[in-house]
Amino acid sequence: MLLPPPTPIQGGWRPEEVEGNTTLGQTRSRMETVWTQQGSREEWSYRRALLRWGLISTLLLSLILIFSVLLFYTFHSCGPRPCKSPVCLELVASYLTMGNASALPCTDFYSFVCGNLTWASESRDMLQVLKEKNQNQLRRILEASVPWPPDSAEEKTVRFYKACMDTDAIDASGAEPLMQVIEELGGWHISGNRTLPDFNHTLKLLMSQYGNFPFFKAYLRPQPSPPHVPVIQIDQPEFQIPFRPVQKNYPEILRAYLSYLQQLGTLLGGDQKVVLEHASISMTITSNLLLASKSPDQRKREGKLFQETTIAQLQEVAPSIDWLPCLRAIFSPMILSPSQPIIVHDLEYIRGMSNVIGQMPKDGYRDYLQSHMILGLVSTLVPALDSHFQNAQRNLSQKLQELAGQSPITFNIPRWKKCIEETGAFFEPTLGAMFVQKTFSHGSRDAATQLFSEIKNALSRHLKRIRWMDEGSKREVQTKLSQLKVEMGAPAEVLKPGATTQDYEDISFGPSFLQTFLSCSRALRERTVRGFLEPPSRRSWKISPWEVNAYYSMSDNVAVFPAGLLQPPFFCSDYPSAVNFGAAGSVMAHELMHIFNQYCGHTYQDFPILTTVVPGGCPACDIPTLYEEQLCLRQHYESFSLPAGSTFNSSHTLLENAADIGALLIAMKAYRKWQQKHKGETILPRLGLSPYQLFYQSYAQVVCGSPNPQHAQDLHSPPILRVHGPLSITPTFARYFNCPRGTPMNPGRRCQLW
């Protein structure tokens, strides 16, 4: 389209005007040509401008659209993504099954997380569930059709398990293998075939060759004080009757046990009258030994633990025992002399035990002592004997539970579980390595190690905020943290190929399972003694790699986390980090908090009710503030109501409660620090929980358990208190779950121990 001619304006150009001699027509013609040319150029220019602006506009719109899409996905990906891997979906199902969605988190978080912890009408805790899962994994490993190299450690481990499972062969052997053992010990009156060796000779054989300690227990353990070198320790035996004369229904208990001993003697072919006579005297010996003994708590109160003496001095105190020959036989190849230092846990019991032996009637006393020792040996060998012996022991156990007024326990333990227990006892390093190789990859180990590093660093950073500790004590803890050793999964030495093959060279597989069992028992004792005589080995764990309990050793400054614990549902490298920090991370932090036990265990005269048995203390610390916070904790835990049948002692559980609270605090600090450094956090679908809420859900999951009466030796509070106690004292929990102030999980006052 041509541009229109300019409109004439006043004082401007007019058509009737001429330029020079040009006529009006010529002028008009020339101007039309100019207009036409000028219009064509401007029109083309305009079109190009429109085209250019159109292209630019289109490009801008495209860029805006692309940017919007990218911005959408960018913001969308910044939020937590749901983890939909199989292990995460399995964990979601577990959480939904266990939890009670109708419970209010701010009122009863334990019920919210653990309210439906019941399967098949049997209440169990989560650690027990994981333990059973690990046992099933061990069973699959031992029953797998794997062609292990002949005489390798793995082949012997599997062969022992299969021999244990061959109940047909064990029953076919009957009592004959056991009769051979009795003959090796000199026979006994009940069998009618005896040579009656010297009492101390039989005792020495029993302890050194069969691992049976009828009168006292002897073992190697590190000294309780530095430098913690191994030392022989003498203690009371494991009594066959686990009840004392003051026990309710004690006469009925004695009758039940007497009936059991009669069954054993009859199964070995003895005459009923002779068996009854010898079993009755054996019961008298046991009762007299029990009268001379004291409970561990009583000995501790009286200061009779860890009494240092020598073998020669022990011989004077208890002359009925030939101590030097016996101890030489037990602890071969140790070189012992009469001046050898040893530790006795109760010299009064050892003196009383010697008197019981020395006061036996002279007429036939050797027969009676021999019968007492052999009947005790038979009881310890029952796991390797035929079903008749096992049924007799099972019936006794059930009867003793009834007489003690305890809840009935099912004793029909599957044979495979018993065999796994025996296999683990004799072949622990190899079975542990097999378990780790199957369930705990290098990636899992690295992830767990990194998680622990985050926890340790968080504790190191938090130290300066502990207001009751003095600067010197804080530096001591920092040094402990910097020098701390950590073991993940299993000792590194047992994971090396062929590392344990030489440990089993002395094991022989006999024609009967009992002979194999005894050969393994002797090899284990010799291996244990050699292990104490050699330089300290990282193989020496207090727990097996498939167990579900972690621990911190104050004397060794080492934290141990077995592979059996670092399994789903507590840990998995594919889980959201909130789960791993809340579950496994809190367990790691809990063990580290025990570093503070020696500082929290100081006695303060104004608070005698809070005194603990932990040695050490922190004299330079702010003791009034420390005990004010400990008193606060005690009152805080006592403010919660417990389910019927649950009991606890707040002073007894004080250190563990403090460790729970500190662990939760440190694990959350570590998780928040991790979030600042990493992106791409995930959550569990279907739960509707944010990452921080998921952290606390996972923490509670670890300690979910049945509200059963607390065991006398358990230093932990009941599960419901292990959830409500720490969480209700944690401000961030109330913030992330929007708990109004004054609700049970957001009380008005909070203790500030840490």
| 610 neighbors 630 (Cβ within 8 angstroms) | yes
The residue annotated as part of the active site, out of 108, 277, 660, 681, is 660
Q: How far apart are CA 600 and CA 598, in angstroms?
A: 6
Are the CB atoms for 587 and 608 separated by under 8 Å? no
Q: What angle do CA 193, 196, 198 make, to 5 degrees?
A: 165
Contact 445, 488 (CB under 8 A): yes
Q: What is the rounded CA–CA span in Å between residue 92 and residue 569?
A: 10
Write a three-state SS string for 162-204: HHHHCHHHHHHHCCHHHHHHHHHCCEEHHHCEECCCCHHHHHH
Residue 595: DSSP 8-state = G
Q: Which helix (H) or strand (E) holds 372?
A: helix 365-380
Three-class HEC string of 429-457 = HHHHHHHHHHHCCHHHHHHHHHHHHHHHH
Kindly compute the dihedral angle of the four CA atoms of residues 234, 240, 244, 247, in this order, to the nearest 10 degrees.
150
Concerning whether 591 is annotated as a catalytic residue, the answer is: yes
**Strand, helix or coil for residue 382:** helix
Rounded Cα distance between 430 and 153, Å, is 6
Catalytic residue among 503, 591, 629, 656: 591
3-state secondary structure of 576: coil
Written as one string, the DSSP assignment of 386-401 is -HHHHHHHHHHHHHHH
Cα gap 663→702, rounded to integer Å: 13
Residue 539 φ then ψ, to 5°: -75, -20
Pairing of strands 217-222, 230-235: antiparallel
Q: What is the three-state SS of 686-735?
A: CCCCCHHHHHHHHHHHHHCCCCCCCCCCCCCCCHHHHHHHHHHCCHHHHH
What is the rounded CA–CA span in Å between residue 724 and residue 657?
Answer: 11
What residues pair up with 307 in beta bridges, in sequence order?
344
> How far apart (Å, rounded) are the C-alpha atoms in residues 105 and 111?
8
Amino acid making up residue 324: L
- Taking residue 249's Cβ as centre, other Cβ atoms within 10 Å add up to 15
**What is the number of residues in the chain?**
754
Three-state secondary-structure class, residue 234: strand
On the CB side of 46, CA atoms within 13 Å amount to 9
Burial class (CB in 10 A: 0-12, 13-18, 19+), 89: middle
| Phi, psi at 701, each rounded to 5° | -60, -35
Tokens 């001379």 label which residue?
A: 292
d(CA 578, CA 697): 9
Q: Report the catalytic residues.
A: 591, 660
